[in-house]
């Protein structure tokens, strides 16, 4: 339960920071919690299914297609939630890379405490 709470808090903070950093991404504060939950759900359920289904193309691209899958999950989360917008899939791919870096730093800080 503590790991889930840490993950959700780190995702929420990371998504908020991504909304501040990228001009193509906007998140209303009242939809941040819903976006965090939808992103967590898509990332933990839909993401692994997509990674398994796209294994041949991932192998052919030496793993670079994983960036596209992560960007798709990020982009879909923004499309599902009202009050959150991501302007394009390319912005979603770049933002998902930055999000993973920010998320790693925040998770590391939260786990030390």
For the chain, which residues make up each domain, given as ranges?
A: 2-112
Model's pTM, two decimal places? Answer: 0.89
Per-residue pLDDT of the chain (113 residues; tens, 9 = 90+): 788 888 899 999 999 999 999 999 999 999 999 999 999 999 999 999 999 999 999 999 999 999 999 999 999 999 999 999 999 999 999 999 999 999 999 988 888 76
Q: How far apart (Å, rounded) are the C-alpha atoms in residues 23 and 112?
A: 32
Residue 47: half-sphere exposure toward Cβ, Cα within 13 Å: 20
């Amino acid at each position: 339960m503590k790991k889930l709470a840490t993950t959700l808090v780190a995702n929420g903070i990371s998504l908020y920071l991504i909304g501040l950093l990228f001009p193509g991404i906007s998140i209303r504060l009242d939809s941040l919690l819903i976006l965090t939950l939808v992103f967590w759900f898509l990332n933990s359920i839909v993401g692994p299914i997509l990674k398994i289904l796209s294994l041949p193309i991932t192998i052919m691209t030496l793993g670079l297609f994983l960036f596209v899958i992560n960007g798709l999950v990020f982009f879909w989360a923004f499309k599902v939630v009202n009050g959150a917008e991501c302007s394009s899939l390319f912005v979603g791919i770049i933002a998902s890379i930055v999000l993973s870096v920010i998320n790693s730093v925040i998770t590391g800080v939260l786990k030390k405490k």
